[in-house]
A and B are shown apart, each in its own frame.
Chain A
Amino acid sequence: MKSAKQGVLAASLIALAAMTAGACTRTERLCAALCDCEHCNDLAEDILCTSIDAQAELADVYDCTSEFEALVDCTLDEGTCNDTKANYSTREPGSCSGEQNTQQPCASVADCGAMPQAYCNGTCRYKVCAGGSGYVCETDDDCPSGADRCEAEDTALEECLDNASDK
Chain B
Amino acid sequence: MKRLLVPLLMAVAGCGPDFEKLCSETHACEGGNDEDEKACVVELDYRRDVADIVGCTSELDAYYDCLIEHATCRMDSLGLTCTTSSVCGLGGQCINGTCQFKSYGLEDPDVCEAEDNAYDHCSDFIGGIP
Interface residues, chain A, with chain B CB atoms under 8 Å away: 43-44, 46-47, 50-51, 54, 57-58, 61-63, 164-167
Contacts and interface: CB of A to CB of B under 8 A. Distances in A.
Contact of A164 (B35, B43, B129): B35
A166 B33 contact: yes
B32 A61 contact: no
B69 interface: no
Contact of B46 (A50, A63, A165): A50
10 contacts: A50-B50, A50-B53, A54-B46, A54-B49, A58-B43, A164-B33, A165-B33, A166-B31, A166-B36, A167-B30
Contacts of A61: 35, 38-39, 42
B42 A51 contact: no
Contacts of A54: 42-43, 45-46, 49
A165 B32 CA distance: 7
A167 B53 contact: no
A58 B36 contact: no
Given A43-B126, A167-B32, A58 B39 contact: yes
Given A43-B126, A54-B46, A62 B35 contact: yes
Contact of A165 (B30, B35, B43): B35
A147 B53 CA distance: 35
How many B residues are at the interface, by size bracket?
20 to 34
B114 interface: no
A63 B32 CA distance: 16
A63 B35 CA distance: 9
B54 interface: yes
B21 to A, nearest CB: 18
Contacts of B38: 61
Interface in B1-44: 30-33, 35-36, 38-39, 42-43
Interface string B63-96: 0000000000000000000000000001000000
Given A43-B126, A166-B33, A167-B32, A58 B53 contact: no
A46 B49 CA distance: 10
A56 B36 CA distance: 15
A165 B40 CA distance: 11
Given A43-B53, A43-B54, A50-B53, A167 B31 contact: yes
Contacts of B90: 167
